[in-house]
Chains A and B, each alone.
Chain A
Amino acid sequence: MTRVTQQTARIVFFLSAAVSAMAAALVFGFLLVFGFPLIGGGEFFSLLARPWSPGQGLYGFLPMITGTAAISFLSIVFALPLSLGTVCFMGGLGPARISRLVDGFVRFMTGIPTVIYGFLGIFLLVPVVRTLFTSAGSGMCILSASLMLSLLVSPTMIIFFKDGFDSVDVRYIQAADALGADSVQRLIYVILPEAWPGIVTGIIMGLGRAMGDTLIALMIAGNAVHVPGSILDSARTLTSHIALVSASDYDSLAFKSIFACGLTLYVLNAFAVIAVRRLGRKRGPVR
């Protein structure tokens, strides 16, 4: 009897794990099947580089690709100095008590809903951008979206940077201390050179978070379908393009193109995950 229970329990555990693992494949499968009419016949790659102009039967998503690239890279450009500075602060440059407060606050930031950033962006940030830059039109532009996004991705980057800092061999730090290094020297000569896998991981995860977010770009980037010419232009990301789908005609090519957007996001994410896992393996003995 116990043997049977043992076996059943084991099988249930295994099935749960297998089902959860299959979920990732299932999502991919659905995207592939629904997007197939566009992807089959090698059309996929020509789509990447084509403009979006349904009137002429063109369903390329070059505007969305450039929109996503511009907004997420710019948000990393804003978030990287903020995150590096903050993690250096927590890594010994700031007073210990304030560091702990900042650490708690950063973790709290991960829980702030992205729709709230979008909402506040519309009523607080967009009017400011509109007033400062007259060429920004309505103020809904790449700059607004990436400024807001930088607040969303900073906590992700800080947490991974800090992981990298914490995984530096404690003997190195003690050796530096014994030689009389102060907190700045310890940071520059010991921690930063050793913590680079954590920093690269943080940047990749931050980029992934920026590319994967929907609501901020949807609400404050303007959603115009054209290749943006400057950071004050309105732009549409891959994620907002999916969100804006009008599901009137399931068989139209315009509708199918959103699955190509979904596939692109899926594949980019998978590459990022694999890269991060490789970096994780490269890290030396922890402590």
Chain B
Amino acid sequence: MNIRILGGCLRVFSWGAVLVLTGSVLMLLGYLLVKGVPSLGRDLIFGQVDVLDAVLLKKRVFDGLFPAIAGTLSVVVLSVGLAIPVGVCAGIYMSEFATVFQQRVFGLMFDILAGIPSIVIGLFGFSGAIFIHKYISKDFRPCLAVSVVALAFLVLPYITRTTQAALQGLGDQTRQAALALGATRVQNIFYVLLPRSVSGILSGIILAIGRCAEDTAVIMLTGVVATAGIPGSLLGSYEALPFYIYYISSQYTDAAELMSGYGAAIILLGVCAVLFFLAFLIKRHVAGPAGPARGRFHG
């Protein structure tokens, strides 16, 4: 075929693809905003309860999103808090100590773990809860603690991989200076390598937070319910924003409930967008000053 015609077709095709893709996503998000923004407000979150009373847990919020937001917040903080120490330590081992064989085997396991569909991780948490219920304590049911552990499994490989990549990205000069001055390997890691790669690790952690906050499949099998109030204990059930959106979409009884679903979707989208831009800014901060300067020197 004539290359000019082919090229023209390819150009039109690529413009079309970009327009269809961005256009349909923008249309979806625009529809969400137009429908949902009017519902945003104090009442959406706190209902008829005074803000201070709700935050200080003096009064229970029945017709607002406050319990769901509190539930999502606690499940995210706990699971990421659980995954960070293990994930970062594992990343350090992979980058600094692992043999080639270990890197290959562990790396394969991390990739498999990272790829497991989140509903299967949820099923794992669920079966763990049944196991405890059967053999250890009859009172044990899917609860906040199960969700926390399952979500920690979900984001562990992200944190490990970003830590490993951030450490391996450091140059040999950075790596060897302290060692040459007599520092031990562990001192080198804690005083030189980790501080240098903190932004890379941080942006990975922020993306992990986003993943935890938006995940619905894991929590719907491991203890989230439609009404539970503020999470009171690790062994109790709780509410969460993404599950609320799912629940409302099929169970809404009147227009007001549906509107609160739109409101919840906007809040969740806002949280994820903020986390995304935060991670983006931190990453750019790392690449920023060093990137162009290097280019200039090498012309």
- Chain A contact residues, CB within 8 Å of chain B: 2, 5-6, 9-10, 12-27, 30-31, 33-34, 81-86, 88-89, 93-94, 98, 102, 104-109, 111-120, 122-124, 151, 154, 182, 184-185, 187-188, 208, 211-215, 218-219, 239, 242-243, 245, 247, 250, 258-259, 262, 265-266, 269-270, 272-274, 276-277
Contact = CB atoms under 8 A, between A and B. Distances in A.
Main secondary structure of the interface of B (DSSP, over half): helix
Name the residue in B11, B88, B115 with the highest tally of chain A Cβ atoms < 10 Å from its Cβ: B115
Contacts of A259: 123, 127
Contacts of B29: 112
Contacts of B94: 17
B38 interface: no
Contacts of B31: 120, 124
A42 to B, nearest CB: 23
Interface centre among A17, A19, A102, A239 (most CB of B within 10 A): A17
A89 B15 CA distance: 7
B156 A20 contact: yes
Given A86-B14, A116-B269, A16 B3 contact: no
Interface in B1-16: 3, 6-7, 10-11, 13-16
B106 to A, nearest CB: 5
Interface stretch (B41-49, B173-181, B214-222, B226-234): B214-222
B153 A6 contact: no
Interface residues of B, number: 88
Given A13-B97, A111-B275, A277-B111, A212 B7 contact: no
**Most chain B C-beta atoms within 10 Å of own C-beta, residue among A115, A124, A259:** A115
Contacts, number: 261
A213 B265 contact: no
B127 A109 contact: no
A85 B13 contact: yes
Interface string B235-272: 00000001001100110000000000100010011001
Interface stretch (B19-27, B73-81, B195-203): B19-27
A113 B214 contact: yes
Interface of B: 3, 6-7, 10-11, 13-18, 20-22, 24-25, 28-29, 31-32, 35, 85-90, 92-94, 96-98, 102, 105-106, 108-113, 115-124, 126-128, 130-131, 134, 153, 156-157, 160, 184-186, 189, 207, 210, 213-214, 216-217, 220-221, 242, 245-246, 249-250, 261, 265, 268-269, 272-273, 275-276, 280
Contact of A115 (B17, B86, B184, B216): B216
A106 B25 CA distance: 10
Contacts of A106: 21
Contacts of A24: 109-110, 112-113, 116
A269 B221 CA distance: 20
B279 to A, nearest CB: 9
3 closest A-B pairs by beta carbon, nearest first, are: A85-B17, A212-B117, A184-B7
Nearest to B106: A21
A273 B273 contact: no
A273 B24 CA distance: 30
Contacts of A122: 249
Contact of B265 (A2, A23, A33, A116): A116
Contacts of B109: 20-25
Contact of B117 (A85, A214, A219): A214
Contacts of B102: 17
A89 B14 CA distance: 5
Contacts of B272: 111-113
Contacts of B153: 23, 27
B216 to A, nearest CB: 5
B216 A214 contact: yes
A188 B184 CA distance: 52
Most chain B beta carbons < 10 A, residue from A15, A18, A85: A85
A111 to B, nearest CB: 4
Q: B120, B124, B127 — which one has the most chain A CB atoms within 10 A of its CB?
A: B120
16 contacts: A18-B106, A20-B90, A21-B109, A23-B113, A27-B120, A34-B127, A89-B17, A94-B18, A113-B216, A113-B242, A117-B28, A184-B6, A208-B115, A214-B217, A262-B124, A269-B116
Given A27-B116, A214-B119, A270-B112, A82 B127 contact: no
Nearest to B11: A93
B37 to A, nearest CB: 15
A63 to B, nearest CB: 17
Contacts of A184: 3, 6-7, 10-11
A192 to B, nearest CB: 10
Nearest to B250: A219
